[in-house]
Chains A and B, each alone.
Chain A
Amino acid sequence: MSKPRGITLNKKQNLTGWAFLAPAAIMIAIMSFIPMIQALLLSFKTGSGAKLNWNGITNYVRMFQDKIFMQALFNNFIYLIVQVPIMLILALILASMLNNKSLKFKGFFRTAIFLPCATSLVSYAIIFRALFANDGLVNRLLMSLGILDTGYSFLTNTTSARIVIIIALVWRWTGYNMVFYLASLQNIDYSIYEAARIDGASTAKIFWKITVPLLRPVILLTTIMSTNGTLQLFDESVNLTKGGPSNTTITMSHYIYDISFKYVPKFGYAAAMSYLILILVGVLAFIQMKVGDKRE
């Protein structure tokens, strides 16, 4: 056979592939990776506005002496440690209840519990702010039940404000995670459950011995996604509690926004703080993958 002239068919297809993926890949490079490098460089600079000078690791040192930032870091971890487990366990329980062939109205329950996902983060934050306001519905209810004499200021009290944020987060995201669990439960052969039931295994035992181990990969995935999301909380802190009372519910992203855009912009300092989030997200995902991949 004579050698084909020009480029071969295979090469042509190979090039077509590159051409197809190039726009998306280039956009991600420009919009994610280049800014990431710029942010790293920026984090070693100081000054306000456009006049920036190198100052080594000063921003990173300053960050750990900044009481508000330490408070924000602490808050993010409170939300992470308290809210993520509650939400994921709830989602798991609801999903395993819905994965029952003899249950009626499954479609209704699934839609209802999934529905909060359709609200925007700003909307639900504001709905919860209104529900828990001094003259809000929750206070009205507690007063009419005789539990409270006067309205309790949920949002101006540190502990209760944090609890309200956690309740709101659980409300918004439980259904979302439940859908992940349901999807993978439906891939599990249902006869395993029937066999376990015939053998007389209790519901709790079936849950811990069958459901949880089989869902391990998707539990790992939802844990990583939730950790990632919780470390980046913004809308809720801004709109539900406005970071208050006196910054005790503020999140890192909220503080970074304030430092960059609300007062005199300190981009270098803000970039250093944002890099801490990046590092935390990476380290926590790594640890979770190590722990989650362990075989029993």
Chain B
Amino acid sequence: MNKLKYKNVVSYIVLTFASLISIFPMYWMLVSATNKSVDVTRGILVPGTALLENWGKLLKSQPLATSMLNSFKYAIVLTLLSLIICSLAGYGFEIYHDKGKDAVMGIILLAMMVPFAATLIPLFQMFSSVHLLNSTVGFILPTISTPFLIMLFRQSARSFPHDIIEASRIDGLTETQIFFKMFIPTMRSTYAAAMTITFMNAWNSYLWPKVIMTDNKSITMPMMVANLVEGYVTDYGVLMLGVLLCTIPTVIIFFFLQKSFAEGITGAVK
């Protein structure tokens, strides 16, 4: 028993240390957003009074409202469409599976290994030739269907009771109705997980928007934040406020859906 307690002491120390290191940079970001640049570099670690001043400077130097609205627009549209398309496919692959569909699934999984850099240039050429640069459609198309989400929904369709499908068929529901009226409501937790992950990935994506959003009116929050460090002199208070604003939406989602986020990233693996 003593040995067990001793072991836990080591665990407590290590875990506390790891937690502090994990939280500290975010705490520092939060505090620095309320301090003047000079105070940030002086190493002040308590909240200051310069939040409004930083806010004013940020609004003046960057298209904050535009990039915030764009990021929300791109991420929400992408999440909704992606969830429908991928869950429909995952359901289709599992419920009606046969040799042909399993083979197609195998090929789709191969797409998981394709690095984005390898498709970036042809995608850029394709999108610029059909005038999809600087558009929501341009933002969402490359990642609207992902092997990961299809796999996640295929996995969850495996646990969907076949009795429900049979009973619904006898009740005269069409196959499409069964999907929308039976599968979606039953699989709410899978949808929550998929939503969390897709929204976060969409909100945080950087390389693709950097390539296709050539117009300042179409930029996203991560692009706006990256622009803040372009100059020679960095205003740390303003910078950290920008980083904070870019982080708030994903952190809120993270706290509300932490469990489903964890289930989501590990779920497709089991």
Contact = CB atoms under 8 A, between A and B. Distances in A.
Contacts of B187: none
Nearest to A197: B4
A97 B207 CA distance: 36
B215 interface: no
A98 B242 CA distance: 34
Contacts of A7: none
Among B93, B145, B176, residue most surrounded by chain A Cβ atoms (within 10 Å): B145
A123 B247 contact: yes
A28 B226 contact: no
B23 interface: yes
A31 B123 contact: yes
15 contacts: A13-B96, A16-B176, A25-B145, A31-B143, A32-B111, A38-B125, A94-B14, A94-B15, A102-B4, A111-B258, A112-B18, A119-B251, A120-B206, A123-B246, A182-B262
Contacts of B266: 179-180, 183-184
A243 interface: no
A109 B15 contact: yes
B23 A112 contact: yes
B185 interface: no
A274 B120 contact: yes
A149 interface: no
B14 A123 contact: no
Interface string B73-96: 000000000000110110111011
A180 B265 contact: yes
A103 interface: yes
A-B pairs, top 3 by smallest CB distance, nearest first, are: A17-B96, A20-B92, A24-B89
Nearest to A26: B145
B35 to A, nearest CB: 12
A124 B246 CA distance: 11
Contacts of B92: 16-21
A169 B156 CA distance: 31
